């Protein structure tokens, strides 16, 4: 069994939901690295720092103390702390959604939080999800999976999710937002979203969450870690 699993993919592909369910099934720690960028974004907004001001946001990231503790029975299954404050509930607000890609594209921010992410992986039995896990954060992960879905399907998922949460939702606006985010994430100079040749590809476009989790579970349990050692 792989000890450290890196899962990448675009927004709305299901990587976080699949990773979370898979971690619970395997008894692994789920680490959503996007939470780190969301935390810095939230801190910047709280301190009235323009997310586009790369120098000030990077300085904030270098000073911030970020940590994550498991909370297996909760959703999400972790508590995220920024400078000792529990900000788990603030990570997915619309304000953070609007600026997180800008912050995540900041090379100095990524460098500042890289060590904290790797320290979590050192605990072992970890599934880490994001957009540059296999390429930058954990290039030596035992197993890499790239989870994908079509833009239309990803937009429909976000639309249904927001309606289920009682929030206003516009399908076309969500689709355009995801398209713009795909463009930014894939074209940025620093750690762009990319499908690595050594990552197992999983297209979830026509899968339910349960089917996607089962497919990912089969990938994990059939993976031979010795292949990585020989590579």
- Do residues 200 and 219 touch, judged by C-beta distance below 8 A? yes
Residue 228, pLDDT above cutoff 60: no
222 found inside a domain? no
Distance CA 66, CA 56 (A): 17
Residue 227, pLDDT above cutoff 60: no
Give residue 126's domain range.
4-215
Distance CA 149, CA 79 (A): 28
Q: Which CATH number goes with the domain that contains 181?
A: 3.40.50.300
173 found inside a domain? yes
What tokens were used for 68? 């994550």
74 found inside a domain? yes
| pLDDT value of residue 42 | 97
| pLDDT value of residue 225 | 61
- Give the total number of structural domains in the chain: 1
What tokens were used for 147? 């989870």
Which of residues 32 and 18 earns the better pLDDT score?
Answer: 18
Q: With both helix axes pointing from N to C terminus, report the angle between 34-46 and 107-121 in degrees, rounded to the nearest 10.
A: 130
Distance CA 219, CA 143 (A): 9
8 found inside a domain? yes
Where does the pLDDT of residue 226 fall: very low under 50, low under 70, confident under 90, or very high at 90 and above?
A: low
220 found inside a domain? no
Where does the pLDDT of residue 231 fall: very low under 50, low under 70, confident under 90, or very high at 90 and above?
A: very low
| pLDDT value of residue 33 | 84
57 found inside a domain? yes
- Do residues 111 and 117 touch, judged by C-beta distance below 8 A? no
Where does the pLDDT of residue 50 fall: very low under 50, low under 70, confident under 90, or very high at 90 and above?
A: very high
What tokens were used for 218? 């089969």
127 has which bridge partners? 5, 30
210 found inside a domain? yes
Q: What is the pLDDT of residues 54-97, one digit of tens each?
A: 999 999 999 999 988 878 777 778 889 999 999 999 999 989 99
* Average pLDDT in the chain: 90
94 found inside a domain? yes
| pLDDT value of residue 173 | 94
């Amino acid at each position: 069994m792989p000890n450290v699993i890196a899962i990448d993919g675009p927004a709305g592909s299901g990587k976080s939901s699949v990773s979370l369910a898979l971690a619970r099934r395997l008894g692994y720690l789920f680490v959503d690295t996007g939470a780190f960028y969301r935390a810095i974004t939230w801190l910047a907004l709280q301190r009235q720092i323009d997310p586009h001001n790369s120098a000030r946001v990077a300085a904030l990231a270098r000073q911030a103390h970020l940590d994550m503790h498991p909370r297996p029975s909760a959703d999400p299954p972790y508590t995220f702390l920024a400078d000792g404050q529990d900000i788990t509930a603030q990570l997915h607000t619309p304000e953070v959604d609007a600026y997180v890609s800008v912050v995540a594209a900041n090379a100095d921010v990524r460098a500042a939080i890289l060590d904290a992410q790797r320290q979590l992986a050192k605990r072992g039995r970890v599934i880490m999800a994001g957009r540059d896990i296999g390429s930058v954060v954990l290039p030596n992960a035992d197993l890499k999976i790239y989870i994908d879905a079509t833009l239309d399907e990803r937009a429909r998922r976000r639309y249904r999710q927001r309606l289920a949460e009682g929030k206003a939702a516009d399908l076309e606006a969500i689709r355009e937002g995801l398209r713009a985010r795909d463009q930014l994430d894939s074209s940025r100079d620093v750690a762009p979203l990319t499908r690595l040749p050594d990552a197992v590809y999983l297209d979830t476009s026509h899968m339910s969450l349960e089917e996607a989790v089962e497919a990912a579970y089969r990938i994990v349990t059939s993976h031979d870690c010795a292949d990585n050692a020989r590579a």
